Structure 1
Amino acid sequence: MIIQLNIDKNTDGDERLQSYLNTIIKDELSNFSDNITRIEVHLSDENSLKNEEHDNRCMLEARLENRQSITVTSNANTVETAVNDALKKLKVSLDTIEWRLKNIEINLAITTKAMISFLFGMKSEPIKI
């Protein structure tokens, strides 16, 4: 899993922040690392001249193997909070996709076994899931 950081000129993208981002992203998305080819992180300060609430924005784009990419965004008072919130959203999206794919596989297995049983008159045993 490649992590690509894109930090605008108004956000302090020092070595500490880059190290933090690499560590937290790898840790939080370790369960999905086999399916993710690249994570793009876009950090920006939307109102750099003003000190307003929720002006730090994090956009995460997960490029998945053989699937469409997933993009989530979060705005917060700090960059760290925006990143953490965006990671939570991304994990929920990835969990949902994984759940749907497993359900498709289960339904396909049940349908296939039922079809074979019907066509060849074989008694089928219950499918253990």
Structure 2
Amino acid sequence: MGINCSNRVHNHTPVKEVVPRLDNEKYYTLPISFQTRTSGERMTVDVGIWDVRPFNMTPLTPLVVVVHGTPGSSQNFEDIGRKLAGHDIRVVGFDFPGEGKSRLLRQDIYRLDHSTEGKYHMLTTVLDALAITR
């Protein structure tokens, strides 16, 4: 039994459901100081922060924090984040140093700990900087 493969382009255009950018959506950078691999040394990185909020946000509004893989950025969650905001859920994401808007010089990439534990510490440092405590 053979498999017929074809590289022909069909006249079918895939349709992607796109949720438009919201007025209450921000993608900005915030300088955040991270512990480096060297004890007592810190390095400040302009971290990309993506925050989409429901229009009727209150202190009790549910919150989802999204964390991308590598390579990636918080923008990987745009569609789902906008949909969640439409259901009164705030969504916050950030770009790990060296990804998305979080620019990092090549020579500095290994100064930070990118292990699972290191990324956990980066996440908690970002949440502290954003005053997210829940």
- What interval of TM-score do these two structures reach, taking the shorter chain for normalisation? under 0.3
Under a length normalisation based on structure 1, what TM-score does the superposition of the two structures give? Answer: 0.26
Under a length normalisation based on structure 2, what TM-score does the superposition of the two structures give? Answer: 0.26
* Higher-helix-fraction structure: 1
The structure with the larger Rg is: 1
Question: 1 or 2 for the larger relative contact order (CA 8 Å, sep ≥6)?
Answer: 2
